């Protein structure tokens, strides 16, 4: 299964959700790959820690090769590194992605990631794609390459208004490029159950018939510790409430996939 975590808004938890769900998949024995397409590289640093500074070949180098004609193309595995966690591998991001963007867009290399991940699916049971906070070349490439789409949502009116535009963007990709793409759900992040506004905002989404995932992910300072130590929650504190919510969310996604 190839999943993309997508939202044009920054700071909604794309990297956190991608990394933690992928870490759970790997812990449960799935051969798992994370693809980081955000030049900021937050997912890469989260999963690699200080190793992220070692200059590994990754997503930028992969896309760079698509701009060059060669009789002997590099193997896609050349752009993947192992993380400290068993079964979990990463195609890391770097600032070079920003430099390549205009060249890739002008040369219309929009299907190259899809082709690569379809090949890599022979080696991996689960592929998770983190995207930049923009509907740009990399995000469109990810939506074209994926089978499922998760949309992180923080509970405010601005996010709710933007959500409809996000869903329209996904529908456009479905219509023009990827009819198999399914919006698996809206992932409610940083949820505060005792506050009236988050409860009301999420309930309005449900009443509109939008696919809101359960459980919601709680707001917790523990996630900051997880980021600082570069340890996904399932490895930092598996009994923590937020770890259990990530686990329940992952299991719900797997169950929905099996019954689809």
Percentage, residues of the chain above pLDDT 90: 84
Render 48-69 in DSSP notation, one character per residue. Answer: HGGGGGG----HHHHHHHHTS-
Query: Can you list the domains of the chain with their CATH numbers?
Result: 2-259 (3.40.50.300)
- At residue 193 the predicted structure's pLDDT band, cuts being 50, 70 and 90, is confident
Closest to 152 (Cα-Cα) out of 170, 166, 140, 139? 166
pLDDT tens, residue by residue, 144-190: 999 999 999 988 778 888 899 999 999 999 999 999 999 999 999 99
Is residue 218 within 8 Å of residue 241, measured between CB atoms? yes
Q: Which residue has the higher pLDDT, 149 or 10?
A: 149
Tally the residues of the chain: 260
Q: How far apart are CA 240 and CA 234, in angstroms?
A: 8
Structure tokens at 151: 């949309």
Would you state the pLDDT for residue 76? 87
Predicted structure pTM score:
0.95
Would you state the pLDDT for residue 181? 97
Mean pLDDT of the chain: 94
Going by C-beta distance under 8 Å and a sequence separation of 6 or more, which residues neighbour residue 204? 160
Would you state the pLDDT for residue 2? 98
Would you state the pLDDT for residue 198? 87
Would you state the pLDDT for residue 197? 87
pLDDT tens, residue by residue, 37-88: 999 999 999 999 999 888 899 999 999 999 986 655 678 889 999 999 999 9
Structure tokens at 146: 């994926």
Would you state the pLDDT for residue 7? 94
* DSSP H helices in the chain: 14-27, 42-48, 59-66, 96-106, 112-120, 137-145, 157-176, 196-207, 222-229, 233-236, 241-259
Q: Strands 126-130, 2-5: parallel, antiparallel or unpaired by DSSP?
A: parallel
């Amino acid at each position: 299964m190839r999943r993309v975590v997508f939202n044009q808004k920054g700071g909604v938890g794309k990297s956190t959700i991608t990394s933690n769900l992928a870490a759970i998949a790997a812990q449960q024995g799935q051969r798992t790959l994370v693809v980081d397409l955000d030049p900021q590289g937050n997912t890469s640093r989260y999963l690699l820690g200080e190793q992220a500074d070692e200059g590994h070949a990754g997503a930028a180098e992969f896309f760079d090769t698509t701009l060059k004609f060669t009789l002997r193309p590099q193997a896609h595995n050349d752009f993947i590194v192992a993380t400290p966690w068993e079964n979990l591998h990463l195609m890391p991001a770097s600032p070079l992605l920003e430099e390549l963007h205009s060249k890739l867009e002008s040369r219309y290399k929009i299907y190259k990631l899809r082709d690569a991940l379809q090949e890599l699916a022979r080696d991996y049971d689960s592929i998770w794609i983190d995207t930049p906070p923009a509907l740009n070349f990399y995000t469109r490439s990810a939506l074209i390459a994926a089978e499922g789409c998760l949309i992180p949502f923080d509970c405010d009116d601005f996010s709710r208004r933007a959500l409809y535009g996000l869903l329209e963007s996904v529908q456009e990709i479905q219509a023009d490029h990827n009819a198999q793409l399914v919006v698996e759900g809206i992932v409610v992040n940083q949820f505060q159950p005792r506050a009236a506004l988050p409860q009301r905002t999420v309930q309005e989404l449900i009443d509109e018939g939008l696919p809101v995932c359960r459980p919601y992910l709680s707001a917790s300072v523990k996630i900051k510790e997880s980021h600082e130590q570069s340890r996904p929650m399932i490895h930092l504190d598996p009994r923590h409430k937020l770890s259990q919510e990530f686990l329940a969310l992952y299991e719900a996604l797997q169950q929905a996939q099996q019954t689809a």
